[in-house]
Amino acid sequence: MNNLLPLSRPKSDDDNLIPLINIVFLLLIFFMVAGQMRAQLPESLSLPTSAVGIKETQDARKIHVNANSAILLDQREVTTQELSQILQQETPQRPVAIYADATITAVKLADLLLTIENSGVDKVTLIVEKTPEANP
């Protein structure tokens, strides 16, 4: 009669570890999918706000303009002449995304836009922060 009973193997601590590994793996996947990874802006940059906007293109060349009107390209300060030369050398022309501080004047921004246009760039986007929507 003892031959009909299944042989039981000894219970090990590893049997309880597998469900824990599964849960940790699922949490990891959840936070990778739900989280939004985005490059951080320079600390001194305060973007203007807007109620409407479009999404930035992923392959855009990022130009930062701080409150002192200094132009940063790839985390390096450049002059308008250097910026123009760098943009003219790129083929094919990549779109440009401008991260301008909210305190710079329209004249400074217009000068930058003119430099970018003269460099042959066809698509320029001004990046803004979206204002929170008002709930009626």
The pairs formed by 64-70 with CB atoms below 8 angstroms and a separation of 24 or more are 64/99, 64/100, 65/98, 65/99, 65/100, 65/101, 65/104, 65/108, 65/109, 65/112, 66/42, 66/101, 67/101, 67/103, 67/104, 69/104, 69/108
Can you give the pLDDT at residue 1?
Answer: 54
Can you give the pLDDT at residue 110?
Answer: 92
Can you give the pLDDT at residue 26?
Answer: 94
Q: What does pLDDT average to over the chain?
A: 81
Low-confidence ranges of the chain (pLDDT < 50): 134, 136
Best CA proximity match to 68, nearest among 118, 104, 21: 104
